[in-house]
């Protein structure tokens, strides 16, 4: 088999890259270890930045987003005795949208299917070869257990944090930065109307909590728990009691309404960046190159930003024979990667309960500052609502 761009991974990065490349007349083939049904049902991110929404709408992926997406002006920050609304539209003129990653994946899946995109699901033994030559290729075993070889001009590593692309960058040229946080998130999906109109990020002595949502009938909530937490230790009653206490149930008349939990999981918190995001004919995008703790709602949006840059770079390289954007891709992408990495670290360390009383005083001081200072609030708003693509 032969194509122009071999894409490894059919998550948001891989699927959106194939869509953007096709719009520019560049063909690709996608290899994915999981089934389409599995990829489209993974419960993950929920917040889209304005720049992500604008991009998706501009490339024909906005129809369901227009109908089902829920624009939010901002978020609430709360801690015992305090509740403050951060209005991003007033502060920086940008909003955020509630639209689950599962919905983005479904939109991408339908668009690529309609376009006749070649996607090989449930492949195994994916390996990258000759990335430093003009004959890069990928070998894999297809879903019928047949050995296959895909020759390409370029390989796009969109295979997330556990795929082979990251390791294909040799240690001699690779630099990595990593921070593992001393806590995780216990996340639930519940069939109950949200108890708030916009997201609530809550600092509490017992631990952080987040009230998000997926629609006006489905809520998405998270609790800070110790690393290694066993879900068996968290029956529904305990989850709802902890959420109620941390989110301020009963304070100033606010009530948290519980409901049937339909999905639950424990998500570790990690920051990770690998450079360079290019090695020869291999280009990395999304979680394959970087991981952010979800406190800043950046993971999915950063994958989109990478892919917007990469699609332009590969179109110039393969159609105009102009290598300049491909040569600067890694540095161009990493400016936003490090901005989002810092912001996600900042939101995480500000809001998650620490055992160090000095940290606690710093956290409460930061919360008081960002909710009373226009400068502080604008900084949070600019980062959370996201910068225009390409910055």
Close Cβ partners of 198 (under 8 Å, ≥ 6 residues apart):
72, 73, 74, 75, 76, 85
Nearest CA-CA partner of 165 in 65, 285, 83, 270: 285
Taking the complex as a whole, the smallest distance from the CB of residue 7 to ligand FAS amounts, in Å, to: 9
Our finding on whether 44 is near ligand FAS (CB under 6 A) is: yes
201 is a catalytic site residue = yes
Please say if 384 is a catalytic residue: yes
Residue 68 backbone dihedrals phi, psi, to 5 degrees: -110, -15
Q: Does 286 bind ligand PHB (CB under 6 A)?
A: no
Active site residue 205: no
Residue 52 CA to residue 49 CA, distance in Å, equals 5
Our answer to whether residue 170 is catalytic in this structure is no
Q: Closest distance between ligand FAS and the C-beta of residue 123, in Å?
A: 6
183 has catalytic annotation: no
Nearest residue (CB) to ligand FAS, 22 versus 297:
297
Q: Tokens representing 211?
A: 């009230």
Residue 69 binds which of ligand PHB, ligand FAS, none (CB < 5-8 A, kind-dependent): none
Give which of ligand FAS, ligand PHB, none residue 273 binds (C-beta under 5 to 8 Å, depending on kind): none
Q: Name the residue among 209, 203, 187 with its Cα closest to residue 100.
A: 187
Q: Is residue 105 classed exposed, middle or buried when 0-12, 13-18 and 19+ CB atoms within 10 A define those classes?
A: buried
* DSSP summary character for residue 55: H
The first and second tokens of residue 80, run together, are 């015992």
Q: Residue 111 interacts with ligand PHB (CB under 6 A)? A: no
Residue 46 interacts with ligand PHB (CB under 6 A)? yes
Site track for ligand FAS across 110-149, x = CB under 6 A: -------------x--x-----------------------
Decide: 106 and 12 in contact? Cβ < 8 Å: no
In this chain, which of 94, 211, 220, 312 binds ligand PHB, going by CB under 6 A?
220
Quick check: 303 and 285 in contact, CB under 8 A?
yes
Pattern 148-167, ligand FAS, x by CB under 6 A: ----------xxx-xxx---
List 12, 19, 72, 120, catalytic entry = 72
Give the bridge partners for 188, in sequence order. 221, 264
303 touches ligand FAS (CB under 6 A) = yes
Strands, sheet with 82-87, edge to edge from the N-terminal-most edge strand: 82-87, 74-79, 200-202, 209-213, 219-225, 175-190, 261-275, 290-291
Nearer to ligand FAS, 277 or 367 (CB): 277
| Catalytic member of 99, 201, 222, 329 | 201
Structure tokens at 72: 């939010």
- Interface segment toward ligand PHB; rule CB under 6 A; list 263-271, 291-299, 323-331, 359-367: 291-299
Q: What share of the chain is helix, strand, coil (3-state, %, to 5)?
A: 40, 30, 30
Q: Which residues bind ligand FAS (CB under 6 A)?
A: 8-14, 31-34, 39, 44-46, 101, 123, 126, 158-160, 162-164, 267, 286-287, 294, 297-300, 303
Residues engaged in binding ligand PHB (CB under 6 A): 45-47, 199, 212, 220, 294-295, 297
């Amino acid at each position: 088999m032969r194509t122009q761009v071999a894409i490894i991974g059919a998550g948001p990065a891989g699927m959106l890259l194939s869509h953007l490349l096709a719009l520019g007349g560049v063909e690709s083939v996608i290899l994915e270890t999981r089934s389409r049904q599995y990829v489209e049902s993974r419960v993950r991110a929920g917040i889209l930045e304005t720049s992500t929404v604008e991009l998706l709408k501009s490339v024909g992926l906005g129809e369901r987003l227009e109908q089902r997406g829920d624009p939010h002006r901002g978020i609430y920050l709360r801690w015992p005795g305090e509740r403050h609304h951060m209005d991003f539209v007033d502060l920086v003129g940008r909003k955020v949208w509630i639209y689950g990653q599962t919905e983005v994946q479904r939109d991408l899946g339908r668009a690529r299917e309609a376009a006749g995109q070649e996607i090989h699901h449930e492949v195994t033994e994916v390996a990258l070869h000759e990335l430093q030559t003009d004959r890069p290729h990928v070998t894999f075993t297809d879903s019928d257990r047949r050995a296959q070889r895909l020759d390409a001009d370029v390989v796009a590593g969109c295979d997330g944090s556990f795929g082979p692309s990251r390791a294909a960058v040799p240690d001699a040229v690779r630099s990595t930065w990593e921070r593992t946080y001393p806590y995780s998130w216990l996340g639930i999906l519940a069939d109950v109307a949200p108890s708030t109109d916009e997201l609530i990020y809550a600092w509490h002595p017992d631990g952080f909590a987040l009230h998000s949502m997926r629609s006006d009938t489905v809520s998405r909530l998270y609790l800070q728990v110790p690393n290694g937490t066993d879900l068996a230790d968290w029956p529904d009653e305990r989850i709802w009691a902890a959420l109620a206490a941390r989110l301020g149930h009963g304070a100033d008349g606010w009530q948290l309404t519980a409901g049937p939990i339909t999905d639950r999981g424990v998500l570790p918190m990690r920051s990770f960046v690998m450079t360079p995001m290019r090695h020869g004919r291999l280009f990395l995008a999304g979680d394959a190159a970087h991981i952010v703790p979800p406190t800043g709602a950046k993971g999915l949006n950063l994958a989109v930003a990478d892919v917007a840059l990469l699609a332009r770079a590969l179109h110039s390289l393969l159609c105009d024979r102009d290598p300049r954007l491909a040569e600067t891709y890694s540095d161009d992408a990493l400016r936003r990667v490090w901005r989002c990495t810092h912001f996600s670290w900042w939101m995480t360390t500000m809001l998650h309960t620490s055992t160090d009383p000095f940290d606690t005083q710093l956290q409460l001081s930061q919360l008081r500052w960002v909710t009373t200072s226009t400068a502080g609030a604008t900084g949070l708003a600019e980062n959370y609502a996201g910068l225009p693509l390409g910055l």
